[in-house]
Amino acid sequence: MLDMKWIREHADEVEEVAKQKKMNMSLRELLDADDKRRELITKVEKLRGQRNAGSEKVGLLMREGRKEEANQYREDIRELGVSIAQMEKTLSEVEQDYDRLKMLVPNIVSQDTPIGESDADNVLVRQEGEVKEWDFPIKDHIQLGELHELFDVPRGVKVAGSRSYYLKGDGVLLHRAVQQLALDIVMKHGFTPMEVPVMVREEALVNTGFFPTGRDQTYALEGENKFLVGTSEVPLISYYAGEVIDVTEPIRLAAVSTSFRSEVGSAGRDVRGLYRVHQFAKVEMVVLTEANAKVSEQVLQEITGYAEELLQALELPYRVMAVCTGDMSQKTYKQYDIETWMPSRQAYGETHSSSNLHDFQARRSEIRYRDADGNLKYVHTLNNTAVASPRILIPLLENHQMEDGSIYIPKALRPYMGGKDKIMSGPQA
Query: Is position 107 within any domain?
Result: no
User: Same domain for 200 and 159?
Assistant: yes
Which tens digit of pLDDT belongs to each residue from 35-81?
999 999 999 999 988 888 877 777 887 788 887 777 777 877 888 88
Query: Is position 317 within any domain?
Result: yes
Q: Is residue 305 predicted with pLDDT exceeding 70? A: yes
Which tens digit of pLDDT belongs to each residue from 135-157?
999 999 999 999 999 999 999 99
Domain boundary among 40, 72, 102: 102
User: Same domain for 249 and 324?
Assistant: yes
Distance of CA 273 to the CA centre of its chain: 25
User: Same domain for 53 and 145?
Assistant: no
Query: Is position 428 within any domain?
Result: no
Query: Is position 390 within any domain?
Result: yes
pLDDT at position 266, please?
A: 59
Q: What is the CATH number of the domain that holds 64?
A: 1.10.287
Which tens digit of pLDDT belongs to each residue from 91-136?
999 999 999 999 999 999 999 999 999 999 999 999 999 999 999 9
Which tens digit of pLDDT belongs to each residue from 393-424?
999 999 999 999 999 999 999 999 999 999 99
Domain boundary among 70, 102, 134: 102
Where does the pLDDT of residue 428 fall: very low under 50, low under 70, confident under 90, or very high at 90 and above? very low
Q: Which domain holds residue 256?
A: 119-423
Q: What is the CATH number of the domain that holds 129?
A: 3.30.930.10
Query: For 221-226, what is the mean pLDDT?
Result: 92
User: Same domain for 299 and 335?
Assistant: yes
Q: Is residue 238 predicted with pLDDT exceeding 80? A: yes
CA-to-CA distance for 102 and 31, rounded, in angstroms? 9
Q: How many domains does the chain have?
A: 2
Query: Is position 151 within any domain?
Result: yes
Domain boundary among 73, 102, 131: 102
Which tens digit of pLDDT belongs to each residue from 186-203?
999 999 999 999 999 999
User: Same domain for 307 and 162?
Assistant: yes
Strand partners, 389: 281
Q: Is residue 264 predicted with pLDDT exceeding 80? A: no
User: Same domain for 282 and 155?
Assistant: yes
Query: Is position 219 within any domain?
Result: yes
Catalytic residues: 261, 276, 350, 353, 391
User: Same domain for 88 and 183?
Assistant: no
User: Same domain for 319 and 193?
Assistant: yes
Query: Is position 351 within any domain?
Result: yes
Query: For 342-368, what is the mean pLDDT?
Result: 97
User: Same domain for 237 and 320?
Assistant: yes
User: Same domain for 71 and 127?
Assistant: no
CA-to-CA distance for 254 and 193, rounded, in angstroms? 5
What pTM, to 2 d.p., does this model score? 0.90
pLDDT at position 429, please?
A: 37
CA-to-CA distance for 418 and 87, rounded, in angstroms? 71
Q: What percent of the chain has pLDDT over 90?
A: 85
Query: Is position 285 within any domain?
Result: yes
User: Same domain for 149 and 235?
Assistant: yes
User: Same domain for 132 and 220?
Assistant: yes
